[in-house]
């Protein structure tokens, strides 16, 4: 039932996207001193999320997308071409990554709050507390 | 959730690498006055993996700095030759302190990522409650 209710699918997709992007940020920060390492990122949630359409089949618009049963295709990590490289080839900016992780924290919290409140609405409609 | 566990593994590898780096900096500083000591350099490399896998950082082999050892004038030293010079170490304290500062900053950033992943995981578990 939770798969067919759009609010639950979207909240779950948002939380999973935040977790996936957090993993990429952690990878960048772990390699902040590695020579030749280029900063990576994944596509934003708005780009990868597809709402459920009853009669539309699953489409893969890019070969990098994995077909998933739910609305979220897990995006591949892409090297960020705009990031400027230091003389040793490293293009990770610590400040950018930390700010990104703060945003992801909020995104994750928002997804869980939406999920929790939708769950309580469901409970109320069932007549339970 | 496996993404969050992967985040913790990535951050742990970063912390391990930075503390190894700090260990070598401490060795260099301790041996700043040792005659003939060459400072140790440690390089970082990213573990290769397919697609989204891999990315952990690990320390490569320890190398010695091959720059020339300075000659120090001290005739009283038993190691000095007939001109009163002996070879010191090529450790520059300013470089080592700056290196230690950067290692500390990177370590704290990795620790922050680890902590954030841990908090996100426990927020997820909070959903189960009530």
pLDDT tens per residue across all 129 residues of chain A: 666 788 999 999 999 999 999 999 999 999 999 999 999 999 999 888 877 664 455 555 665 554 444 556 677 888 888 888 999 899 999 999 999 999 999 999 999 999 999 988 988 998 876
Q: What's the pLDDT score for residue B97?
A: 97
Q: How far, in Å, CA of A35 to CA of A90, rounded?
A: 5
A30 vs B52, B110, B124: nearest CB: B110
**Contact call for A105 and B6, based on CB within 8 A:** no
Chain B: residue nearest A116 by CA?
B127
**Contact call for A30 and B10, based on CB within 8 A:** yes
Its pTM stands at: 0.85
ipTM over 0.90: no
Higher pLDDT, B114 or A72: B114
CA A124 to each of CA A58, A115, A117, B119: distance values in angstroms, whole numbers, following the listed order: 34, 14, 10, 29
Residue A75 three-state SS = coil
Give the A:B interface size as CB pairs under 8 Å.
100
Tell me which of B44-48, B101-105, B106-110 is least confident.
Answer: B44-48
CA distance B6 to chain A (A): 7
**Contact call for A23 and B3, based on CB within 8 A:** yes
A109 vs B57, B113, B123: nearest CB: B123
Q: Among residues A16, A19, A25, A29, which one has the least CA distance to residue B5? A: A19
Q: Once rounded to an integer, what is the mean pLDDT over residues B110-125? A: 94
Q: What's the pLDDT score for residue A14?
A: 94
Domain range summary for chain A, segments of one domain joined by +: 6-126
Q: What's the pLDDT score for residue A20?
A: 94
* Tens of pLDDT, residues B9-35: 999 999 999 999 999 999 999 999 999
Residues of A in contact with B11 (CB under 8 A): 26, 29-30
Q: Once rounded to an integer, what is the mean pLDDT over residues B111-120? A: 96
Q: How far, in Å, CA of A124 to CA of A113, rounded?
A: 16
Q: Rounded to the nearest 10 degrees, how much is the dihedral formed by the CA atoms of B99, B104, B109, B114?
A: 130
* Tens of pLDDT, residues B50-103: 777 888 999 999 999 999 999 999 988 888 888 889 999 999 999 999 999 999
Q: What's the pLDDT score for residue A55?
A: 46
User: Which residues 22-81 on chain B approach chain A with CB closer than 8 angstroms?
Assistant: 43-46, 51-52, 55-57
A34 vs B44, B116, B123: nearest CB: B44
Mutate to test the interface with B, among A23, A86, A101 (most CBs of B within 10 A): A23
Q: How far, in Å, CA of B62 to CA of B68, rounded?
A: 18
């Amino acid at each position: 039932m939770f798969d067919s209710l759009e609010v639950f699918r979207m909240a779950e997709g948002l939380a999973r996207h935040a977790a996936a992007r957090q993993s990429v940020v952690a990878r960048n920060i772990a390699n902040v001193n590695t020579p030749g390492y280029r900063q990576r990122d994944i596509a934003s949630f708005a780009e990868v999320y597809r709402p459920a359409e009853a009669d539309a089949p699953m489409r893969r618009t890019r070969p990098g997308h994995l077909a998933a049963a739910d609305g979220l295709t897990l995006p591949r990590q892409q090297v960020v071409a705009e990031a400027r490289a230091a003389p040793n080839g490293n293009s990770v900016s610590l400040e950018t990554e930390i700010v990104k992780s703060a945003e992801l924290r909020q995104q994750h919290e928002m997804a869980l709050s939406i999920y929790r409140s939708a769950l309580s609405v469901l409970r109320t409609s069932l007549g339970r507390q | 959730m496996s993404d969050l566990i992967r985040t913790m593994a990535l951050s742990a590898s970063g912390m391990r690498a930075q503390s190894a780096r700090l260990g070598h900096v401490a060795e260099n500083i301790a041996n700043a006055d040792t005659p003939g000591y060459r400072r140790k350099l440690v390089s970082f490399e990213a573990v290769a993996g397919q697609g989204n896998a891999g990315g952990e950082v690990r320390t490569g082999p320890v190398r010695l700095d091959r720059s020339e050892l300075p000659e120090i004038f001290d005739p009283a030293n038993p190691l000095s030759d007939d001109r009163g010079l002996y070879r010191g170490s090529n450790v520059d304290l300013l470089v080592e302190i700056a290196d230690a500062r950067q290692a500390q900053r990177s370590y704290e950033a990795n620790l922050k990522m680890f902590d954030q992943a841990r908090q996100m995981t426990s927020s997820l578990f909070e959903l189960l409650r009530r």
